[in-house]
Structure 1
Amino acid sequence: VEIDYQNAAGEIPNTVSIAEKFKKDEVDLIYTIATPAAQSAKQVTSDIPILFSAVTDPVEAEIVDDWNDVGANVTGTSDKAPIKSQLKMFKEIDENINTIGILYNTSEANSEVQIKEVKKLAPNEDLEVIAVGVSNVNEIPQAIDSLLKKVDAVYTPSDNLIASSIELIASKLIDKEIISVSAESAHVESGTLITNGLSYYELGKQTAAMAKEILVDKKSPSDIPVGVAENIVTTINVDTLEKLGLDKGLEIFKDVNKVGK
């Protein structure tokens, strides 16, 4: 397999020009990571098979018609998090948590979907939600400082902009002794406390299996439903756990995947 790897460097206009290049080069398949790249590729070509990964709701983002009947030349895997079980973690760690904060990218369709879902489910767990949106990485330090004054804990969604500054965010959370639950394991590896979420590495392998179906088995993307993460793993950062001074004997911290030290 010959792979032409192109990085849009976080700039959405670059995703369009890259997709146009791939179309001009007549590649056999375009693999996109995250919603903006998938949207751009779909905009550019209706003929070349397109696979996406790390797209939370491809229907809401208008990338596919339906989860099971995608409708065209695009399919892939979703990184939709098990938000209901993740929200339950807050009270399992500290029953006194009442208000959770979320920092998110206002221009990321994936994030808007997650915020909507969190706000819908949070009251069932006796949680209030304060969401603060940012539009670029420079706004994050001030936004997180302001948010931490108003909340008992923080939920970090699978958001590309937030992920790019997750080490800074995690550091501020630890300094303020704030508990954090994340949508996915990469955040925990970078310093947040815990997740019951997916592995993007494993999700990539699922998407690669789809590429094999298209390129080798000659299956049409329109015949392949959107996939969701097959493996959900609870992961804690033991270094963060120690710095927060939490009780390691809590049931939620037992028999989990550990990162950090």
Structure 2
Amino acid sequence: MRALLFALAASVAAALPVHAENVTVDVTAIVEHPALDAVRDGVKDALAAAGYKEGENLTFVYKSAQGNAATAAQIARQFAGEGPTVIVPISTPSAQAVAAATRDIPIVFSAVSDPVGAQLVKNMDKPGGNITGLSDMSPVAEHIALIKEILPNVKKLGFLYNSGEANSVSLLAALKAEAEKAGVEVIESAATKTAEVQGATRALVGKADAVYIPTDNTIISALESAVGVAEESKLPLFTADTDSVARGAIAALGFNYYDVGKQTGDIVVRVLKGETVGDIPATVAKGTDLVVNKSAATKMGVTLPEAVVARATKVIE
């Protein structure tokens, strides 16, 4: 009888919500823009859904490096010195800075296109050490197919990027490989800081049939500068970042970055609940959205095919 009561009590306890212990999650991003901000918010909401709520049992600290690599390193060292439960760096530069700052504190990165190429992990399936996370490697073959569907005659595609950002360099290599298969030549134009974005876009006028912007934090932070040139020159501009479409790009096929944040937060929860961070596979985020902007297309002299508009997740008029 006593054994039965113990078993019953155990089953009831298992069914009750578990009150999480006090934890600290430090989050940093290389810069503030809608996609990275959405990742941060998704992480926080995933933690809340798992019972880790700010002001109750969670200390949630967020710092932006404001686009400065030296500041990113400073933030990483500060976080490492404070010894939080988990550190969540958003973007490749922030992840590299945090990984260099600590070998002990669990790290769960997010929005890193190529974790292996960025030397954050040696193996996606078995990261090892104190790090794992979520990749947002863009489906570049699908991006080229979308651009060709909208612009069937495109032969030269401008690639606007920061040549010092590891994820953009990885994406350039992937894009070139896929573009060659599609009979498209990639024309590079680099901007190493936001003040150079307008000039780098102008450098593509007359050389490219369209411009493609990857999930590059430097370029996306100054997207309006590129859009202004594109509208003035009737140079169709596409991005890999869906949040950038509302800011003036014609279309993007990419991740919902709030969902990326929630998926990242789910990994953080696993670590908080006791899993060894290096044993959790680093994975590519799930899901893609197609967002189109009819007004932007008109300003850049493009008519969106009805088939593209019909299957879009979101249409901006």
Q: What TM-score does the superposition give when structure 2 sets the normalisation length?
A: 0.79
Distance of 1:94 and 1:47 partners within structure 2:
50
1:253 aligns with 2:313: no
For residue 291 of structure 2, what is the aligned residue in structure 1?
A: 235
Residue identity over aligned pairs, in percent, reads 33
1:108 aligns with 2:165: yes
The structure with the largest alpha-carbon Rg is: 2
Q: Pick from 131, 155, 161 the counterpart of residue 212 of structure 2.
A: 155
For residue 44 of structure 2, what is the aligned residue in structure 1?
A: none
After TM superposition, list the pairs within 5 Å mapping 1:26-45 onto structure 2. 26-45=83-102
SS of residue matched to 2:240: strand
1:49 Cα deviation (Å)? 0.4
Cα pair 1:177 1:244 within 8 Å, conserved: yes
Evaluate the alpha carbon distance shift between residue 248 and residue 91 of structure 1 in structure 2; reply closer, same or farther with a 3 A threshold: closer
Distance of 1:7 and 1:237 partners within structure 2:
29
Aligned residues: 260
1:259 Cα deviation (Å)? 4.5
Q: Deviations over 1:67-108 (max 9, x none)?
A: 111121111111111000110122211221111101110110
1:64 aligns with 2:103: no
Q: What TM-score does the superposition give when structure 1 sets the normalisation length?
A: 0.95
Instruction: Flag structure 1 segments of 5+ consecutive residues without an equivalent.
Output: none
For residue 138 of structure 1, what is the aligned residue in structure 2?
A: 195
Q: Pick from 79, 82, 107 the counterpart of residue 50 of structure 1.
A: 107
SS of residue matched to 1:32: strand
SS of residue matched to 1:111: helix
Cα pair 2:254 2:288 within 8 Å, conserved: yes
For residue 230 of structure 2, what is the aligned residue in structure 1?
A: 173
Evaluate the alpha carbon distance shift between residue 193 and residue 248 of structure 1 in structure 2; reply closer, same or farther with a 3 A threshold: closer
Cα pair 2:91 2:112 within 8 Å, conserved: yes
The alignment yields a C-alpha RMSD, in angstroms, of 1.4
For residue 207 of structure 1, what is the aligned residue in structure 2?
A: 264
Q: Deviations over 1:16-66 (max 9, x none)?
A: 221222122111011101111111111111111011111110101100111
After TM superposition, list the pairs within 5 Å mapping 1:67-82 onto structure 2. 67-82=124-139
For residue 198 of structure 1, what is the aligned residue in structure 2?
A: 255
1:21 aligns with 2:78: yes
Q: Deviations over 1:145-194 (max 9, x none)?
A: 12122111111111010011112212221222222221120221211111
1:245 Cα deviation (Å)? 4.7
Q: Which amino acid counterpart does residue 234 of structure 1 have in structure 2? A: L
